[in-house]
Structure 1
């Protein structure tokens, strides 16, 4: 089979940076990360809002787009929008990010913008969520992109099935799912059950990584500090790849490595290790298909 096209997620290239640290900015300059990803053979690149804002203090969109093109990175994804249904101060912050991400989408033509639900554990009105996400999807379409909802187990969309049900209610062509293998296993969904409820038309993004089989005591520590390269953990990554292929999806595939070990690596080492490990799992997936 042809070699898969792989997107290095924002955290895969970020070095010593992680979600919700307060400052999510990578210590590596954006253009250095883009060039390194291209040199390592990746097909796409992920960019978090914090790094976008920092980069735009010294670069313009043409600089970023030109660097991506020069590096041979055909795909771009942006992240990470939350609080899109809220009001008050949370909504003010979210709307500012929303505007900046859509401005970037118009200039950079990303595949999608990744979004999530509520991390607070509070009760949110379902009709409000549907109405606000549909409105967000309309704005995304106007900006020439789509929304990829992450159904994280520590949010109100705690399983992939819950995320799919929500998107069925939203019913907008620019609203779809990002299925991260971490969300599947930590959400308690057997991989072979995905074909029973995932709508291929809404499957916008897929992300690969690995981890220990045992459910962790703290999901946040697990997702930020303890993920592994594909094939290093105890999940059936190759089996997951083939289940997703069975849904009609064949890339580009995201590779999202978040771990203390990965953050300690040099940028070139991190990119080579993540890509090599992922290609190894695709080789195993191909072998399984050949029987």
Structure 2
């Protein structure tokens, strides 16, 4: 990797291999050290780790050993995910499990010098926005003690936000120095947002950007599409170059994530999958002037 190559983080689902988000096996079958070494060889300067995978990896490697592996291979950026149910009431059983994951990820974020921890609302649970905002402020305050950041991922059909703008407004109102919005090409496109409008997002509110591609109007259910048919950047129908140009105009200057959940890609050999993931992303970034 040369100094002119873009800084790209392979998200957990992009690099996990045969881990299926629709089953209970959410951890990668591939060894952590081998993943890190292969990702670095492919050109990635960052990787993502999902909480069930983190628990699995820690059965073999300590956090200190994981950090050494990352450092030895020049991996500079680490994303940890995912916290759901963080805005629920304290006496809700789902919140108890959320708090357990929260503590685990924040501890790991400090040990691994993680760039950020990603949170959101995959179950699409609805609560008043003032309650969500207060919980986001609290979460950012907790993360500050571990010297990490909190990224709120906007998701299409989110149970709390009808539009991307509502999520941006909440993050802006929360005014947490270590908190911001996470933009995923797929969710922004599926949520109906105009990519040109992304230029107006305040830079201080834009924490992380993930790239991928997809179909504009596929003949399949949303869950099937979301978890099995997202595409690598440049391999679908979205204007991913225009997306990159818009967030760059808003002031975002990387690193860039690539997050692709795709059943066919999960069957590829590790080196082939990683090389293809990096090369497609780098090509789109080059076309966008990055």
Does residue 280 of structure 1 match 2:289? Answer: no
Paired position in structure 1 for 2:85: 83
Q: Is the 8 A contact 1:159 1:184 kept in 2?
A: no
Paired position in structure 1 for 2:134: 131
Aligned length in residues = 285
Give the superposed CA RMSD: 1.7
Q: Is the 8 A contact 1:151 1:162 kept in 2?
A: no
In 2, Cα distance between equivalents of 1:50 and 1:72: 24
Deviation above 6 Å: which 4+ runs of structure 1? none
Paired position in structure 2 for 1:180: 184
In 2, Cα distance between equivalents of 1:159 and 1:117: 14
Describe the shift of the 1:217–1:169 C-alpha distance in structure 2 as closer, same or farther (beyond 3 A): farther
TM-score, normalised relative to structure 2: 0.94
Paired position in structure 2 for 1:102: 106
Describe the shift of the 1:217–1:154 C-alpha distance in structure 2 as closer, same or farther (beyond 3 A): farther
Question: Cα deviations across residues 199-232 of structure 1 (Å, max 9, x unaligned)?
Answer: 2101111011111121665222212111111111
Alignment map for 1:233-244 (pairs within 5 Å): 233-244=236-247
Compute the displacement of 1:90 (Å). Answer: 0.2
Paired position in structure 2 for 1:146: 149
Paired position in structure 2 for 1:93: 97
Describe the shift of the 1:100–1:154 C-alpha distance in structure 2 as closer, same or farther (beyond 3 A): same
Compute the displacement of 1:261 (Å). Answer: 1.4
Tell me whether 277-286 or 78-87 shows the greater mean CA deviation: 277-286
In 1, Cα distance between equivalents of 2:134 and 2:218: 34
Paired position in structure 1 for 2:205: 202
Q: Is the 8 A contact 1:151 1:158 kept in 2?
A: no
Q: Is the 8 A contact 2:168 2:181 kept in 1?
A: yes
Paired position in structure 1 for 2:227: 224
Tell me whether 123-132 or 145-154 shows the greater mean CA deviation: 123-132
Does residue 119 of structure 1 match 2:123? Answer: yes
Compute the displacement of 1:158 (Å). Answer: 4.3
Does residue 15 of structure 1 match 2:17? Answer: yes
In 1, Cα distance between equivalents of 2:174 and 2:218: 31
In 2, Cα distance between equivalents of 1:164 and 1:216: 30
Gaps of 5+ in 1: none
Describe the shift of the 1:95–1:20 C-alpha distance in structure 2 as closer, same or farther (beyond 3 A): farther
Q: Is the 8 A contact 2:22 2:227 kept in 1?
A: no
2:274 to 271, 275, 280: 271
Paired position in structure 2 for 1:161: 165
Does residue 190 of structure 1 match 2:194? Answer: yes
